[in-house]
């Protein structure tokens, strides 16, 4: 009995490809949709009623083994029976038909809902503030960070000067001070205005948008395989750390916060050493800077820990850890009570989160614990990695810089260029696998946590076939 | 048969007050919640399972007539049977358990879902882009506006210069240009970073947050009653318009967009004349500026039109109209196809909205049409207004600047100061009515669209009693 067959006894044995060319119905539907929606980024139209487990079904009845899972945001696969049960509950119906303004009129169910979620918080975190998306989570974290940073300077008093109260209404200092968030080159933290200012992976995300004048430090670019390049990579780490400290000391305004992904995902699945993350704890403490870890894509199991930064054993823990995607519910975790602003209504909005998603998040996390899916993904990830390592010997150009050893199924590699990457993704699809890319020439694997050894075998077979076709 | 009794045959006849003092259970629950959540803004803990129609039930079994409705975001009242039915549908379950990355893998249901919503779009709008909250909707609209504004300058071509592509990665011009959004004093458009920069109602919303250097023009402050102060108010309009034009001509950077609420809500229920809104159509056209109407709080019927700016008959229609709250689903409407960015992945994020909320929005709007709730709220609003006008004669100090004539139930007035306002709200609660404030000394009414004449009578009775107690 495998994990997936327990949840999904009717999951297909393997991909089902009925018609590679889109049917007339699909073309019509796409045309219909184009009239009201930007369809230029559409991979295909999905039939979510028929999708099951690790297989996504399209409108033509093709079943693809899905290693992308809605841009890394489905944790357990499609149509999970326990999530369906949660979706039918009275608690869910309430959350939908009378969505509360939680800050003013919290439901009697809220204490339990938040306590439930906190059982799955990263090591050292025991408080939570919720939002609606990854971008939103990060911007809420920035707000908490700025309020904390300024609050610390004035001793967390609740009186503001006349000058502060007046200038803020004109968007000027001292009420609206010049403060920066430091992020990293190739980072992706979202696409709102503050998050776009810390995002630095592709021009397309930010062109024509006014931005805050905030700095991007270099993120390590390692040589692979890691075990053969330890000295070089250590130097890379050291240089990046020096650079960060230099920016903090010389930026035109105070750096109030540092935000970093444990693995840069959208930016190319770039990894950094455990040491790299630990050193920022020291640096942020030294300069009184808020340390924010963005676990939006890396969180909830797929890297072989519930939260990826737990691989680094950061001590004391980071100040704020943001989440979304596989957690379905978005927001940030924290532990220092001073991150609760000194006055009510400072961190506030109409909904303050979404209880419907709390319920989904809770079931997902409970299943991860109950079925020990972390151990499971580690096993499957090691298996996948060993297969990919062998394949890389046969196709070194198409499997460059293989990344994700000891990070479970959070695996990626590079091909030679953008065109080749897109070609490989198309071949994988024609061989029954839905896979995503990142950066310009990387392939990233983001299967669900119920992805089994048998799925890994199917994928490797499809990849082998695709690489053969690509090189033909 | 009234509207409310049709939906809610078991709605209480009038408020039920069991215990004004919070019970031990309530105190315990609040203490529990305080451990994981900022409870300083909590009015009371709600029991949403028991709440019904126009009555919100708290944990102690008190039923309050609710004229606040989750900060103006519940359209039809609590536990509406048709919304419950929608919440139980297969379509809803799908939306919850396999939340799609709609831009890449839209559901086969999406064309119909969006077409449904567009039936309720403001006059002249036939396209939609969806987000997750009012703040999010406005920031997405700003992105669309900036991309359009810059796109127009370069003829919507899809090639960017090397300088643009390089500078944007450093948050510098020309890739990240200095461009402004013009908003108004006392405006409220949200609390993210770009939206906080256009928000200008209270320092508390923005203190300690870095802001964009964007201008706030004066919003009309009329004398009431309007019919006795036409000449004065016309002058106010003219001065404000001149001021806007002056800012556009002299601001340090180009003003790319203008955002305005049809009625400033959080900022004090400030109204402006129909002419005021029409003139901005002319001005924004003259200067090539994007015209954004924020209908987050005013939209979906409560002002006596589906969308409040339709009172002003703006022609051609505004460029972007944002929505959230009572629409439950958030985003913006538009009609000019050039607001679809020139390249895919420019206006994009993981989820691109929330189909679960599309279903809720659709049922709400269908009911508004089917039951002609717009006519209904106009009748109830006129009735309320006539009662309040009479009461204002008796209590002129406690019912100043009565606002909302011909705006259905979207009614507000001022008392003398902040303390008195909070006292009046507390008295109203003790007399069975849950009512909200805005700005520093205003009371705002935001009942559901199913609020009936009988509810208006109960409210007026409670208000009369409260005013008597206040003046005692």
Q: What percent of chain A has pLDDT over 90?
A: 96
Mean pLDDT, residues A204-219: 97
Whether the ipTM is more than 0.90: the answer is yes
Q: Residues B72, B77, B79, B84: is their CA dihedral positive or negative? A: negative
Asked if residue B250 lies in contact with residue B211, where contact means CB atoms within 8 angstroms, the answer is no
Whether chain B has a CB inside 8 Å of the CB on A167: the answer is: no
What chain B residue is nearest to A33 in terms of C-alpha separation? Answer: B111
Q: Nearest to residue A124, comparing CAs of A277, A295, A307? A: A307
Q: Nearest to residue A300, comparing CAs of A276, A326, A267? A: A326
Return the pLDDT at B158: 83
Q: Nearest to residue B72, comparing CAs of B472, B448, B465? A: B448
B20 pLDDT above the threshold of 90: no
Identify whether B325 is a catalytic site residue: yes
Mean pLDDT, residues A221-249: 94
Mean pLDDT, residues B183-191: 98
How sure is the predictor about A1, in pLDDT bands with cuts at 50, 70 and 90? confident
Mean pLDDT, residues A44-64: 97
Of A305, A325, A326, A441, which residue is the catalytic one? A325
How sure is the predictor about A2, in pLDDT bands with cuts at 50, 70 and 90? very high
How sure is the predictor about A19, in pLDDT bands with cuts at 50, 70 and 90? confident
Whether chain A has a CB inside 8 Å of the CB on B155: the answer is: no
How sure is the predictor about A248, in pLDDT bands with cuts at 50, 70 and 90? very high
Return the pLDDT at A156: 84
Of B158, B161, B350, B375, which residue is the catalytic one? B350
Asked if residue B414 lies in contact with residue B224, where contact means CB atoms within 8 angstroms, the answer is no
Output the average pLDDT for chain B.
Answer: 96
Output the average pLDDT for chain A.
Answer: 96
B313 pLDDT above the threshold of 90: no
What fold is seen in the domain B3-80+372-471? 3.90.1150
- Candidates A146, A190, A350; nearest CB to B210: A146
pLDDT in tens, B93-152: 999 999 999 999 999 999 999 999 999 999 999 999 999 999 999 999 999 999 999 999
To the nearest whole angstrom, how far is the Cα of B33 from the nearest Cα of chain A?
5
Identify whether A450 is a catalytic site residue: no
What chain A residue is nearest to B40 in terms of C-alpha separation? Answer: A344
Least confident stretch, A18-32, A319-333, A402-416: A18-32
Mapping DSSP to helix (H, G, I), strand (E, B) and coil, where does residue B384 land? helix
Q: What percent of chain A has pLDDT over 70?
A: 100
To the nearest whole angstrom, how far is the Cα of A77 from the nearest Cα of chain B?
8
B264: CB partners within 8 A, 6+ apart: B184, B186, B187, B188, B201, B219, B270
Mean pLDDT, residues B333-337: 96
Return the pLDDT at B30: 95
Alpha carbons B179 and B213: distance in angstroms, whole number: 9
Tell me yes or no: is domain A100-353 CATH 3.40.640.10: yes
Return the pLDDT at B156: 84
Phi, psi values for residue A188, rounded to 5°: -135, 120
Q: Nearest to residue B217, comparing CAs of B181, B263, B191, B252? A: B181
Least confident stretch, B19-33, B75-89, B322-336: B19-33
How sure is the predictor about B21, in pLDDT bands with cuts at 50, 70 and 90? confident
List chain B domain ranges: 3-80+372-471, 100-353
The domain A3-81+372-471: what is its CATH number? Answer: 3.90.1150.10
């Amino acid at each position: 009995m495998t994990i997936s067959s327990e949840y999904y006894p009717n999951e297909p044995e393997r991909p089902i490809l009925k018609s590679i060319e889109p049917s007339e119905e699909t073309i019509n539907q796409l045309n219909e949709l184009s009239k009201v929606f930007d369809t230029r980024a559409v991979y295909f139209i999905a039939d979510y009623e028929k999708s099951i487990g690790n297989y996504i079904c399209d409108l033509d009845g093709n079943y693809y083994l899905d290693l992308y899972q809605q841009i890394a945001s489905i944790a357990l696969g499609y149509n999970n029976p326990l999530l369906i049960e949660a979706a039918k509950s009275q608690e869910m119906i309430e959350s939908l038909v009378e969505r509360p303004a939680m800050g003013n009129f919290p439901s009697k169910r809220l204490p339990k809902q938040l306590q439930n979620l906190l059982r799955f918080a990263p090591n050292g975190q025991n408080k939570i503030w919720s939002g609606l998306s990854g971008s939103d989570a990060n911007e809420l974290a920035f707000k908490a960070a700025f309020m904390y940073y300024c609050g610390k300077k004035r001793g967390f008093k609740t009186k503001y000067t006349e000058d502060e109260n007046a200038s803020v209404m004109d968007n000027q200092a001292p009420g609206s001070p010049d403060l920066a968030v430091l992020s990293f080159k190739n980072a992706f933290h979202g696409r709102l205005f503050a998050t776009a200012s810390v995002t630095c992976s592709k021009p397309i995300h930010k062109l024509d948008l006014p931005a805050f004048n905030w700095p991007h430090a270099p993120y390590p670019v390692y040589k692979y395989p890691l075990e053969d390049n330890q000295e070089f990579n250590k130097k890379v780490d050291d240089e990046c750390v020096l650079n960060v400290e230099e920016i903090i000391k010389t930026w035109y305004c105070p750096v109030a916060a540092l935000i970093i992904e444990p693995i840069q995902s959208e930016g190319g699945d770039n990894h950094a050493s455990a040491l790299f993350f630990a050193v920022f704890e020291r640096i942020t403490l030294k300069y009184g800077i808020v340390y924010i870890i963005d676990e939006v894509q890396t969180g909830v199991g797929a890297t072989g820990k519930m939260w990826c930064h737990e691989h680094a054993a950061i001590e004391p823990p980071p100040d704020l850890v943001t989440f979304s995607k596989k957690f379905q519910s978005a927001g940030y975790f924290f532990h220092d009570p001073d991150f609760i602003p000194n006055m009510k209504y400072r961190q506030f909005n109409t909904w303050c989160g979404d209880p419907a998603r709390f319920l989904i998040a809770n079931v997902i996390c409970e299943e991860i614990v109950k079925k020990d899916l972390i151990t499971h993904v580690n096993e499957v990830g090691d298996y996948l990695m060993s297969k990919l390592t062998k394949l890389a010997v046969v196709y070194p150009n198409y499997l460059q810089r293989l990344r994700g050893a000891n990070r479970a199924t959070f695996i990626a590699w590079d091909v030679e260029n953008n065109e080749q990457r897109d070609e490989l993704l198309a071949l994988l699809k024609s061989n029954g696998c839905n896979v995503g890319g990142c950066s310009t020439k990387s392939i990233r694997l983001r299967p669900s946590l119920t992805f089994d050894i048998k799925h890994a075998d199917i994928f490797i077979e499809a990849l082998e076939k695709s690489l053969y076709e690509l090189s033909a």
